[in-house]
Amino acid sequence: MSSRSRRAKQGPPLGPILLLVLLMGGAVVIARMAAKNKPEEEDAPAKEVQASDIFVGLPEEEPPPPPGGDGSKRMVNVAPANLDQHADFQRARELAEQAGNALDSAKKAKAEGDHATWNTKATYAKNLYDEAVTITALWEEELLEKYGDRDRQVKAIMDERSRWFKMLTTLHKTTGRE
C-alpha cells in the first residue's frame, strides 16, 4: 500500500490540533494571572432606596370614572330624551320588523316541507337583520362612549340590537351561503 492511502485512513494530523490546544490553555492561564494581579477596587456600597421614595411627589392614581355616572352600578338617565328616535335606529327597526315577518313565513314554509322557500325567505331575513345591525353599529359605539352602558336608553338600544344580532347569528347557522 502506498503512504497516501494510510494517511487518509488515519485521520487529520495531530500536530496542529495539539498546538491549538496548547495555545488555548496558555491563554486561559495568562488571563487568570492577569486577574490575580489586578488591584482590587472597593465598590462603593449602593445607597439604599426605599420603595416609597421612588414615587414621592406623584399624585395618587384613580381609575377614570365610567362615562355618564358616579361609579355606582345603578342605571342612570344621562342621554337626552327620545334617543331611540334617531333616523338610523328607526330605519334599522323597520328592517328588523321586515326580517321578523320574512322569518315567520320562512318557518311556515319549512314546517310545510318547502325547503326552497325556507332558504330563500330565511336568507332574505338574514340580509335584513345584517343591514339593521350594520347601520346602527357605529351609532351604538358613539352612544356608549358619550353616555356609558348604564344609561337606561342606551341599555334598551343595546338590548334590541343584541336580539337582532342573535337572530342574525342563528340564521347564519341555519341558512345556505349566497
DSSP for 83-133 reads GGG-HHHHHHHHHHHHHHHHHHHHHHHHHTT-HHHHHHHHHHHHHHHHHHH
- 148 CB neighbour count, 10 Å cutoff: 18
CA distance readout (Å), 84 to 62, 93, 104, 143: 34, 10, 25, 11
3-state secondary structure of 65: coil
Reported confidence tier of residue 4, pLDDT bands at 50, 70, 90 = low
d(CA 32, CA 37): 9
Q: So what's the pLDDT on residue 174? A: 81
The residue that leads in pLDDT, 37 or 118, is: 118
The residue that leads in pLDDT, 59 or 117, is: 117
Q: So what's the pLDDT on residue 81? A: 83
d(CA 16, CA 10): 15
Please give the domain boundaries of the chain with CATH numbers for all domains: 83-174 (1.20.58)
d(CA 129, CA 94): 10
pLDDT at 16 over 70: yes
The residue that leads in pLDDT, 164 or 14, is: 164
Share of the chain residues as helix, strand and coil, in percent rounded to the nearest 5: 65, 0, 30
Q: So what's the pLDDT on residue 70? A: 56
CA distance readout (Å), 52 to 46, 47, 61, 69, 137: 17, 14, 15, 33, 47
d(CA 144, CA 161): 13
d(CA 118, CA 16): 87
Q: Which of the listed ranges 27-41, 74-88, 120-134 does the model predict with the highest average pLDDT?
A: 120-134
Q: So what's the pLDDT on residue 128? A: 94
pLDDT at 126 over 90: yes
Work out the percent of the chain whose per-residue pLDDT is above 70. 79
Residues 6+ apart with CB under 8 A from 3: none
Q: So what's the pLDDT on residue 35? A: 82
The residue that leads in pLDDT, 23 or 48, is: 23
d(CA 51, CA 107): 68
